[in-house]
């Protein structure tokens, strides 16, 4: 049987971010480190949110697009140097995952590799760590309610550090923060959220509540992603996309699958620095086709939802959203594929795909997605 649990306190709705000080007080945080990235500083949002607080927070804005252990260590050094006692993660999945990594180090010694799921880290992670408030500014990863931080460790592998203790203390989900997200990023992050709903729905664990949540997230994402891309100020579409992201991550406690097993090593290729959601979108049709023989009635359920074969529906959506034509168009070369396929076998999402791929299967999936 399965363990089924939903744990995070979520405050959802327009304007919720204005309550940030209230929640810092609730958690007893007097000197927060706000972890974010320079892109968000450039939008003015970081300064606006910092100004909501009684006293200016310490700010770390050096989060890279795919967060690295190096950046986590730099932020943690600032946390210590500035006498901080809590963390605010503000941004997309990268800033939120970096914040989770810094928080882990407030109660655990490095290096981070020992805490990754594949290294048995679950047993090493305990709850004696500082409070964390997560404020998403993209509607994609759902990291604000997820128990994972996905970080490129010092060895250069992008790995999941996963534990219920990694869950943020509070998630402040304010769709208004996504109104200014440009169309390309709205599409790419939205496809990440949709891919969570789809992949976890296909994952074999027995977890009917998670399946129901994933299908609700899928329905919202599917009806609203194009509207949010066309008109960033469409409130109802932005709301749907933020719920889709939230629900995807609530549901993926079941595990994800081959799409994410591949996009983690692809995202670790430093010279390309590829966006996670874009990679998911490009790989999804081939993974759906690969999974078909193993998912039985779920394929039919998806087909009746989409009104056509699920792989075809996702490929058409990718095209309408202007996603890259394939991995090759993103700069991925044939020589890169074999090491990625080998790493995918060792990724924590590999084991929860409904049909177990071999390295050769991963190669076929990537070549089909080129
Ligand atoms: N923890 C998890 O469970 C989980 C799940 C899926 C993905 N991830 C990880 O999350 C990362 C991807 O996160 P992401 O897709 O949210 O992108 P991101 O955090 O990398 O951000 C992408 C860009 O969007 C900009 N941006 C963010 N919000 C904005 C806004 N409101 N307005 C304008 N610009 C904005 C940022 O400055 C950045 O340049 C990857 O590292 C991925 O592996 C984690
Ligand atoms: Fe993802």
User: Which atom of ligand 1 lies nearest, measured to the CA of 264?
Assistant: 43
Give the separation between CA 173 and CA 113, rounded to whole angstroms.
Answer: 30
Residue 4 lies in a domain: no
The residue segments making up the domain with residue 33 are 9-178
Mean pLDDT within 103-118 = 97
One domain for residues 39 and 152: yes
Percentage of the chain lying above the pLDDT 70 cut: 98
Residue 263 lies in a domain: yes
User: Which atom of ligand 1 lies nearest, measured to the CA of 39?
Assistant: 37
For residue 98, the ligand closest to its alpha carbon is 1
Q: Whose CA is nearest to atom 25 of ligand 1?
A: 39
One domain for residues 172 and 187: no
What is the distance in A from the centroid of ligand 1 to the CA of 65?
7
Helix (H), strand (E), coil (C) string for the chain: CCCCCCCCEEEECCCHHHHHHHHHHHHCCCCEEEECEHHHHHHCHHHHHHCCCCCCCEEECECCCCCEHHHHHHHHHHHHHCCCCEEEEEECHHHHHHHHHHHHHCCCCCCHHHHEHHHCHHHHCCCCCCCEEEEECCCCCCHHHCCEEEEECCCCCEEEEECHHHCCCEEEECHHHHCCCCHHHHHHHHHHHHHHHHHHHHCCCCCHHHHHHHHHHHHHHHHHHHHHHHCCCCHHHHHHHHHHHHHHHHHHHHCCCHHHHHHHHHHCCCCCCCCHHHHHHHHHHHHHHHHHHHHCHHHHHHHHHHCCCHHHHHHHHHHHHCCCCCCHHHCCCHHHHHHHHHHHHCCCCHHHCCCCCCHHHHHHHHHHCC
Read off the pLDDT band of 135 (50, 70, 90).
very high
Instruction: Say which CATH number the domain at 297 has.
Output: 1.20.1090.10
Q: Is residue 1 scored above 60 in pLDDT?
A: no
Per-residue confidence (pLDDT) for residue 140, from 0 to 100:
97
Q: Is residue 203 scored above 80 in pLDDT?
A: yes
Give the separation between CA 257 and CA 278, rounded to whole angstroms.
Answer: 16
Residue 64 lies in a domain: yes
One domain for residues 73 and 196: no
What is the distance in A from the centroid of ligand 2 to the CA of 200?
11
Among 178, 196, 225, the domain-final residue is 178
Q: Whose CA is nearest to atom 17 of ligand 1?
A: 92
Residue 159 lies in a domain: yes
Give the separation between CA 239 and CA 103, rounded to whole angstroms.
Answer: 28
Q: Is residue 70 scored above 90 in pLDDT?
A: yes
One domain for residues 213 and 332: yes
Among 143, 178, 213, the domain-final residue is 178
One domain for residues 104 and 56: yes
Read off the pLDDT band of 7 (50, 70, 90).
confident
One domain for residues 158 and 133: yes
What is the distance in A from the centroid of ligand 2 to the CA of 193?
7
pLDDT digits (tens, 9 = 90+) for 296-306: 999 999 999 99
What is the number of structural domains in the chain? 2
Q: Is residue 12 scored above 60 in pLDDT?
A: yes
One domain for residues 125 and 174: yes
One domain for residues 171 and 191: no
**Is the beta carbon of 177 within 6 A of some atom in ligand 1?**
yes
Among 178, 213, 235, the domain-final residue is 178
Question: Helices 258-267 and 276-295 meet at what angle, rounded to 10?
Answer: 150
Residue 27 lies in a domain: yes
**Is the beta carbon of 69 within 6 A of some atom in ligand 1?**
no
Predicted ipTM of the assembly:
0.99
What is the distance in A from the centroid of ligand 1 to the CA of 126?
26
């Amino acid at each position: 049987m399965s363990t089924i649990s939903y744990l995070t306190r979520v405050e959802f709705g327009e304007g919720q971010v204005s309550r940030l000080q209230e929640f810092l007080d609730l958690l007893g945080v007097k000197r927060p480190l706000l972890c974010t990235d320079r892109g968000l500083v450039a939008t003015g949002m970081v300064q606006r949110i910092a100004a909501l607080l009684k006293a200016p927070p310490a700010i770390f804005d050096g989060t890279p697009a795919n967060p690295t252990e190096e950046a986590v260590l730099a932020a943690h050094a600032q946390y210590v140097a500035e006498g901080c006692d809590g963390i605010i993660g503000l941004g997309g999945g990268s800033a939120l995952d970096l914040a989770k990594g810094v928080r882990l180090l407030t109660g655990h010694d490095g290096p981070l590799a020992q805490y990754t799921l594949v290294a048995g880290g679950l047993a090493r992670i305990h709850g004696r760590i500082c409070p964390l408030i997560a404020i998403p500014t993209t509607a994609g990863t759902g990291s604000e309610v997820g128990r994972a931080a996905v970080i490129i460790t010092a060895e250069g592998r992008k790995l999941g550090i996963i534990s219920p203790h990694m869950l943020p203390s509070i998630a402040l989900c304010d769709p208004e923060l996504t109104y200014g997200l440009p169309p390309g990023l709205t599409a790419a992050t939205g496809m990440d959220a949709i891919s969570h709903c789809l992949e976890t729905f296909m994952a074999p664990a027995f977890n009917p509540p998670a399946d129901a949540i994933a299908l609700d997230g899928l329905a919202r994402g599917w009806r609203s992603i194009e509207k949010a891309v066309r008109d960033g100020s469409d409130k109802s579409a932005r709301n749907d996309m933020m719920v889709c992201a939230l629900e995807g991550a609530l549901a993926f406690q079941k595990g994800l699958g081959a799409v994410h097993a591949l996009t983690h090593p692809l995202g670790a290729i430093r010279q390309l620095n590829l966006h996670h959601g874009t990679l998911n979108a490009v790989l999804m049709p081939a993974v759906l086709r690969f999974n078909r023989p193993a998912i039985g009635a779920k394929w039919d359920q998806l087909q009746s939802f989409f009104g056509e074969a699920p792989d075809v529906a996702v490929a058409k959506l990718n095209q309408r959203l202007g996603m890259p034509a394939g991995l090759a168009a993103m700069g991925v070369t044939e020589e890169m594929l074999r090491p990625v396929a080998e790493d995918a076998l060792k990724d924590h999402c590999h084991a929860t795909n409904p049909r177990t791929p071999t390295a050769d299967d991963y190669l076929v999936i990537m070549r089909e997605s080129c």
